């Protein structure tokens, strides 16, 4: 089996200091967590930024500052074009796609978050995909249900996405597909041959989804974007979450990919 690529998503849109005092929200906190997670075994970082009030934003200036501070950290950098960073336009959500990053997230359909819409219209998806192609950023296709895989295959056929595709199965967001072993298998069986995939197990699906992905030859994402509590009494830190993935992988006999190995596995 291929080595395991671990992605850390340290910030996301949901975490606040109230929800978890260990949240990584400021640029300095994010940089510090990325370094620790890299040392613990993460090869990819999925980045979000916050504004001066620590609210989610897609602001290019903030991404630029963060990427500059991460310049000397040898880790694959992936920026988020998600729907919760403010205005819902190609220009706003894609404003960071000319910066020095290796990958960007791309949702290929719409779904619900607990209190908002994950709104990705056909034109918006194409617009963001085109910018990624033009800037040589590999999309990580964020799929919240099966239809988004079908749409990604269609977008590849009409030239907006270039294979091999890389998917992240976002499992167990309230309002989207439930994180169960059976659902994950069905998703994985639906992606085109030659694709790579990872899984985000949101909330209490985390350990089951991670373990499934390790056993099935997929890759994993963890971090405070996906889970706030380590167990029912303990706040998670990004580093603790990465270390837990490394431990599970070790017990299951799966080796961890270095950053260079991850670049090859993900065809970067
Ligand atoms: Mg995200």
One-character DSSP codes across the chain: -PPBPEEE----SS--TTT-TT---SHHHHHHHHHHHHHHT--EEEE-EE-TTS-EE--HHHHHHHHHHTTTS-SEEEE---TTSS--SHHHHTTTTTSS-SEEEEE-S-EE-SSSEE---HHHHHHHHHHHHHTT-EEEEEESSHHHHHHHHHHHHTTSS-SSPEEEEEE--TTS----HHHHHHHHHTSPTT-EEEEEE-GGGHHHHHHHHHHHT-EEEESTTT-SEEETTEE--HHHHHHHHHHHHHHTT-PBP-HHHHHHHTT-
Q: Rounded distance, CA 199 to CA 179, Å?
A: 10
pLDDT score at 55: 97
Region at 257 (left for phi over 0; alpha for psi -120 to 50; beta for the rest): beta
The structure tokens listed for 51 are 């504004």
Q: How far does the centroid of ligand 1 lie from the alpha carbon of residue 182, in Å?
A: 24
pTM above 0.95, yes or no: yes
CA of 220 to the centre of ligand 1 (A): 14
List Cβ neighbours of 73 (8 Å cut-off, separation of 6 or more): 31, 34, 35, 38
| CA 173–ligand 1 middle distance (angstroms) | 12
Distance 264 CA to ligand 1 centre (A): 23
Provide the CB-side half-sphere exposure for 33 (13 A, CA): 30
How many C-beta atoms lie closer than 10 Å to residue 51's C-beta?
Answer: 14
Ligand 1 center to 63 CA (angstroms)? 14
At 111, give phi and psi (nearest 5°): -160, -175
Q: Determine the distance separating the centroid of ligand 1 and the alpha carbon of 3, expressed in angstroms.
A: 23
Mean per-residue pLDDT pooled into runs of 10, the chain (268 residues): 97 97 98 98 98 97 98 98 94 97 98 93 98 98 97 98 98 96 97 98 96 98 98 97 98 98 98
Ligand 1 centre distance from Cα of residue 85 (Å): 10
Give the Å distance between the CA of 82 and the centre of ligand 1.
6
For residue 1, the CA-to-ligand 1 centroid distance in Å is 27
Distance 101 CA to ligand 1 centre (A): 15
Dist. CA 105 → ligand 1 center (Å): 7
C-alpha 154 to ligand 1 mean position (Å): 23
- CA–centroid distance, 48 to ligand 1, in Å, is 7
pLDDT of amino acid 8: 98
**Whether 57 contacts 80, CB under 8 Å:** no
pLDDT of residue 83: 92
Determine the pLDDT at residue 177: 96
Q: Tell me how far the alpha carbon of residue 141 lies from the centroid of ligand 1, in angstroms.
A: 11
Q: Which residues make Cβ contacts (< 8 Å) with residue 198, sequence separation at least 6?
A: 5, 7, 140, 166, 167, 168, 169, 213, 218, 219, 220, 221
Between the CA of 12 and the centroid of ligand 1 the distance, in Å, is: 5
Residues with CB under 5 A from ligand 1 (ion): 80, 82
What pLDDT does 266 receive? 98
């Amino acid at each position: 089996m291929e080595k395991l690529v671990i992605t850390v998503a340290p910030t996301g849109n949901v975490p606040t200091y109230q929800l978890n005092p260990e949240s990584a929200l400021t640029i300095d906190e994010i940089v510090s967590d990325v370094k620790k997670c890299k040392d613990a075994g993460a090869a990819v970082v999925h980045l979000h930024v916050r504004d001066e009030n620590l609210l989610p934003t897609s602001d290019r200036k903030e991404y630029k500052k963060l990427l500059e501070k991460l310049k000397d950290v040898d880790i694959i950098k992936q920026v988020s074009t998600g729907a919760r960073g403010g205005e819902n336009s190609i220009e706003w959500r894609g404003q960071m796609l000319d910066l020095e990053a290796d990958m960007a997230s791309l949702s290929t359909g719409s779904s619900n978050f607990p209190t908002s819409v994950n709104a990705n219209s056909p034109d918006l998806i194409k617009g963001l995909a085109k910018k990624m192609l033009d800037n040589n950023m590999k999309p990580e296709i964020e799929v919240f249900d099966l239809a988004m895989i079908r749409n990604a295959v269609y977008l590849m056929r009409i030239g907006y996405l270039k294979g091999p595709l890389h998917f992240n199965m976002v499992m167990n967001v309230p309002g989207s597909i439930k994180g169960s072993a059976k659902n994950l298998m069905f998703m994985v069986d639906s992606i085109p041959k030659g694709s790579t995939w990872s899984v985000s197990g949101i909330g209490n699906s985390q350990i089951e989804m991670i373990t499934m992905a390790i056993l099935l030859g997929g890759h994993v994402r963890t971090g405070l974007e996906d889970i706030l509590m380590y167990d029912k009494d303990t706040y998670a830190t990004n580093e603790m979450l990465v270390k837990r993935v490394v431990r599970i992988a070790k017990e299951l006999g799966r080796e961890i990919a270095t950053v260079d190995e991850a670049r090859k596995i993900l065809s970067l």
